[in-house]
Structure 1
Amino acid sequence: MTVQRYEGLSRERVEEILAKIGTLRAGVIGDACLDVYWEADMTKSVLSRETPHYTLPIVVERYSPGAAGNVAANLKALGCREVFICSVIGHDWRGELLKQQFRNREIDTSFILEEDAWCTPAYCKPIRVGLQQSRQEDPRLDFQNFRELPENIASKLANRLDDMAEHCDVIAVTDQLTIGVVGAIIRDRLSYWAEKGKLILVDSRDRIGLYRNVIVKPNEIEAAHWVKSDFIGTERTISEWSDVAIRLSQEVKGNCCVTLGSEGALWVESGMCTLVATRPLEPPIDIVGAGDGFASALVCALGAGSEGQEATAFAHLAASIVIKKIGTTGTASPEEIRSSQF
């Protein structure tokens, strides 16, 4: 299959897109998590009296919104006029910290549900710091849910989604966790709003093929999981990946953007596939949060009136900034995008 290539994004268009993003009201629904970084100064460690272990003396603690929360943070950083977050959190210390992180960024939390039957997900990363500032990350400590979201809470969340959709120009969906807040009830409501003309972009790790009538943004592994599982772990051509992207687009009955890492991304619309290349980046890089930055910029550019290929190129710019921010789930600001090389 012949795949078209797009290389048409100009600085003038970037300025126009950024200006229009400033008028957007953006909503996010999905798995809002707390990202935690605890730095332990091992030069201050002592042997515990109770156990035969040395302590981890925490001297720095950093918190930021993760998953759907990071998408909301990226939308705000890109300059959206208003950003709303719709999710479920628990009555726990992580939920309180997460709400504070949203307030710090002026992200509207009025569509969040707080429920005793749910745990606020968190990814906690202990980092040992030694002599000459040598650093080593310990195994991550995860807080997560092991039971499905109760149906009555899912119905309440669907009502919150309906209320939020009334306020939004665009909606980004982050379906990240194995057991998360986006189930069949929410997928049905998203399909309903998409059919009414709402611009909805979905990023889902495990369930991308279950959505209908929306724009989907998987990476190549997530797309292949639904279309051609034998592709995983083998080297494939752009033409072969374009076949996967087109088939997924047909299945979800919507446009599709499949990211291919350093190769760029494939945009599929009306059965036509276009490769939007990205420029290579020199290390050091940290891919944590890059997908969130890409998705946020993509939905913003689409909401600002860009065609799919142009929006994908704009999303590459944002992701190239986020990926250079080490040790954090970063964001990309309009100023950083303006000063990037393209």
Structure 2
Amino acid sequence: MQQEPKIVVIGSLNMDLVVKAPRAPKRGETILGEEIHFIPGGKGANQAIGLARLGAETTMIGAVGSDAFGAELQEALQRDGVNTSSIKVLAAQPTGVASILLAEGDNSIVVVPGANAQCLPEDLKRFEAKIAEADLVLLQLEIPLETVEYAAELARRYGKIVLLNPAPAQTLSRDLLSNVDYLTPNRSELALIAGVAEDTPLDQGIERVLELGVSTCITTLGAEGAAYRERGGRLLRVPGHKVPVVDTTGAGDAFNAGLAYALARSQDIREAVAFAGRVSALAVTKFGAQGGMPRLNEVAEYFREER
């Protein structure tokens, strides 16, 4: 029986404050809301829980405040078996918060990074042994870019697979991209990283990213699935799945968790992208980014029935 992979997730932990209202208030106006939910989130934590539910031996490296939100976020990870011993707890910084207003079928979000901004390269030096033991290191961009750059460099030094989910979108250096094995942008993130217009043909944007040093680029296309290309290869596509959609909040995080899990288990790229698509599709059938993350047996059973 194949041993479960060891994966280190280096990234953000946020408490999502989700307020539902009949409409967005005008400037200076106070209105009454309908509902409020406090939901554990942050792209790093979401992906860590996604991995743990699939079965990976998962370690989370990040930072929270010494407040109630920080404790709750760690407890949520621990309930799903994520190792939280490498999470830094800061007395002088609040836990990161995302304030999300849902109104008239749309949302607006304000993120206060809080402790996430104090997840620093020096922390990775303290937890270097965790990276050295891992099969794969999974990164996003909700912590300082210098930390992401150092993490990729450190993981590459130890010969680990490096997967970067480049969200939220920002310009990335050639030095960082040359240390990335798998990059998973959506269309807008791809355009920004490649330095091209969003309506540029997909293959041209991916070609540019590969020229910048990435080994493989996998672009997520929402309901249409994903497209990927390895350096020296051609553009290939994996179709999406038709499912009853409840909440798309965690779709991207589920995709990255599924991809990381499959790659760490040495699946080939097409199998890994297809598996990630199934994990992502099943995640959107449930409410909440973390709550929707499926277990491995659920993925197998759901798509066995689909066939």
Q: Same fold (TM over 0.5)?
A: yes
Partner of 1:63: 39
Q: d(CA) in 1 for partners of 2:170 and 2:208?
A: 15
Distance change in 2, residues 1:54/1:226 (3 Å): closer
Partner of 1:144: 112
Is 1:223 equivalent to 2:190 in the alignment?
A: yes
Q: CA RMSD in A?
A: 3.2
Q: d(CA) in 2 for partners of 1:189 and 1:54?
A: 44
Structure possessing the higher relative contact order (Cα contacts under 8 Å, 6 or more residues apart): 1
Q: How many residues align?
A: 292
Please give the residue correspondences for 1:309-324 in structure 2 after superposition, counting only pairs within 5 Å: 309-324=270-285
CA contact (8 A) 2:218 2:228 kept: yes
Is 1:251 equivalent to 2:212 in the alignment?
A: yes
Q: Alignment partner for residue 192 of structure 1, among 123, 140, 154? A: 154
Q: d(CA) in 1 for partners of 2:134 and 2:264?
A: 10
The DSSP-based 3-state class of the residue aligned with 1:89 is strand
Q: d(CA) in 2 for partners of 1:172 and 1:147?
A: 19
CA drift at 1:170: 1.4
Distance change in 2, residues 1:168/1:53 (3 Å): same
Partner of 2:172: 209
CA contact (8 A) 1:318 1:337 kept: yes
Partner of 2:53: 77
The DSSP-based 3-state class of the residue aligned with 1:200 is strand
Ranges in structure 1 where 5+ consecutive residues have no aligned partner: 1-18, 43-51, 129-135
Q: Alignment partner for residue 91 of structure 1, among 66, 78, 81? A: 66
Give the structure-1-normalised TM-score: 0.74
User: Once superposed, which parts of structure 1, at least 4 consecutive aligned residues long, lie more than 4 Å away?
Assistant: 36-40, 52-58, 124-128, 136-143
CA drift at 1:34: 2.3
Q: d(CA) in 1 for partners of 2:236 and 2:12?
A: 30
Q: Which amino acid aligns with 2:217?
A: C
Q: d(CA) in 1 for partners of 2:116 and 2:77?
A: 25
Distance change in 2, residues 1:74/1:338 (3 Å): same
Ranges in structure 2 where 5+ consecutive residues have no aligned partner: 23-28
Please give the residue correspondences for 1:3-82 in structure 2 after superposition, counting only pairs within 5 Å: 20=2, 23-37=4-18, 61=37, 63-80=39-56, 82=57
Distance change in 2, residues 1:95/1:195 (3 Å): same
Is 1:290 equivalent to 2:251 in the alignment?
A: yes
| 327-336 vs 211-220, greater mean Cα deviation | 327-336
Q: d(CA) in 2 for partners of 1:94 and 1:101?
A: 11
Give the structure-2-normalised TM-score: 0.82
Partner of 1:173: 139
Q: d(CA) in 2 for partners of 1:247 and 1:257?
A: 13
Distance change in 2, residues 1:126/1:29 (3 Å): same
Q: Which amino acid aligns with 1:209?
A: L
CA contact (8 A) 1:26 1:169 kept: yes
Q: Which amino acid aligns with 1:27?
A: V
Is 1:267 equivalent to 2:231 in the alignment?
A: no
Is 1:162 equivalent to 2:128 in the alignment?
A: yes
CA drift at 1:161: 4.5
